[in-house]
């Protein structure tokens, strides 16, 4: 992972929330929220909360006394998320590094992270922090994307951009969101962090959008992939988005599009 992989600033949070969230994140947010609800926790910590799609799903399923602390490294993402919550909602938003949590040991019943662990520069340390703040018998729940070839829109966009920038293809999607899919490595890192009971389930959904253009804008302008495109040639963002749109239309058609998405869902206890 490079430094810009973690940078969600400028117009990225708004486009991410408007297009990427419904495109790929909502189905998995509902999945995690249901798993959390079955555990009936009282205190929940969410790390890498992004613009709050999982936070909202959790809040909708759990009773009012449940305390939810939602955190993210990027203040811009937290601001976008907080703006969508009712002003007196029980969610507490905090800008926080998941690798240095500012909470006491044994504070939370559940720690949850939706598609954020791939961004941890030291995953063992991040997992260790989650374990530290969990109460005895508490659960750490998170998900990570499967390999990019099993996530069709991301794969097509990455291949399209390689033709736009053949000398230096943008590899953000393959490198970071889809770069940590090895379940053996996940188990190894969780064990190194002190977790003893680890369960991993692979869950597949369908990703749908009104048009190829919506998908292209979501990926090229609503993720740190935008930073990679701009670093190569800031004047070619629209060209890159157009190339991705055309590649998606060639593969999926010019009307509403539908592609496979696949992720691993992990539950770990100490």
- What is the pLDDT at residue 11? 75
**Helix, strand or coil for residue 242?**
helix
In a domain, 47, yes or no: yes
- Provide the residue-wise pLDDT of the chain in tens; the chain has 270 residues: 555 545 565 778 899 999 999 999 999 999 999 999 999 999 999 999 999 999 999 999 999 899 999 999 999 999 999 988 776 678 999 999 999 999 999 999 999 999 999 999 999 999 999 999 999 999 999 999 999 999 999 999 999 999 999 999 999 999 999 999 999 999 999 999 999 999 999 999 999 999 999 999 999 999 999 999 999 999 999 999 999 999 999 999 999 999 999 999 999 998
Helix (H) or strand (E) holding 217: helix 212-221
Distance from C-alpha of 97 to C-alpha of 209, rounded to nearest angstrom: 32
In a domain, 244, yes or no: no
- For the record, the structure tokens of 198 come out as 């680890």
**Domain encompassing residue 24:** 3-148+174-206+261-269
Q: How many Cβ atoms sit within 10 Å of the Cβ of residue 180? A: 20
- Do 95 and 27 contact (CB within 8 A), yes or no? no
- b/e string for 67-76 if b means 16 or more Cβ within 10 A? bbbbbbbbeb
In a domain, 103, yes or no: yes
Q: What is the DSSP string of 25-93?
A: IHHHHHHHHHHHHHH--SEEEEES-TTSHHHHHHHHHS-TT-EEEEEES-HHHHHHHHHTS-TT-SEEE
In a domain, 109, yes or no: yes
Distance from C-alpha of 154 to C-alpha of 14, rounded to nearest angstrom: 19
In a domain, 124, yes or no: yes
Domain tally, the chain: 1
- What is the pLDDT at residue 194? 98
In a domain, 214, yes or no: no
Helix (H) or strand (E) holding 212: helix 212-221
- What is the pLDDT at residue 85? 78
- For the record, the structure tokens of 91 come out as 């969610």
Distance from C-alpha of 264 to C-alpha of 28, rounded to nearest angstrom: 10
In a domain, 158, yes or no: no
In a domain, 221, yes or no: no
- Do 215 and 209 contact (CB within 8 A), yes or no? yes
- What is the pLDDT at residue 89? 74
- Strand 197-209 and strand 257-269: the pairing is antiparallel
- Do 73 and 95 contact (CB within 8 A), yes or no? yes
pTM: 0.94
Domain harbouring 107, CATH code: 3.40.50.150
- What is the pLDDT at residue 257? 98
């Amino acid at each position: 992972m490079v430094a810009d992989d973690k940078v969600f600033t400028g117009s990225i949070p708004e486009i991410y929330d408007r297009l990427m969230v419904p495109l790929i994140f909502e189905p998995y947010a509902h999945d995690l929220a249901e798993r959390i609800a079955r555990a009936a926790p009282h205190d929940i910590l969410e790390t890498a909360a992004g613009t709050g799609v999982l936070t909202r799903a959790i809040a909708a399923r759990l009773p009012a006394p449940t305390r939810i602390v939602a955190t993210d490294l990027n203040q811009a993402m937290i601001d976008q998320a907080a703006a969508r919550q009712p002003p007196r909602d029980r969610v507490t938003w905090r800008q926080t590094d998941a690798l240095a949590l500012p909470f006491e040991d044994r504070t939370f019943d559940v720690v949850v992270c939706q598609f954020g662990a791939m961004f941890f520069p030291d995953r063992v340390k991040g997992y260790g922090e989650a374990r530290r703040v969990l109460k005895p018998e508490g659960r750490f729940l998170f998900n990570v994307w499967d390999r990019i070839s099993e996530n069709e829109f991301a794969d097509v966009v990455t291949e399209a951009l390689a033709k736009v920038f053949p000398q230096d293809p943008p590899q953000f999607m393959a490198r970071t969101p889809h770069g940590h899919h090895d379940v053996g490595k996940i188990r190894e890192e969780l064990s190194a962090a002190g977790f003893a009971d680890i369960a991993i389930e692979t869950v597949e959904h369908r990703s749908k959008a009104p048009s190829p253009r919506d998908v292209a804008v979501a990926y090229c302008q609503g993720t740190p992939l935008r930073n990679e495109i701009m670093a190569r040639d800031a004047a070619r963002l629209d060209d890159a988005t157009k190339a991705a749109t055309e590649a998606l239309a060639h593969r999926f058609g010019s009307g509403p599009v539908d592609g496979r998405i696949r992720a691993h869902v992990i539950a770990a206890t100490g």
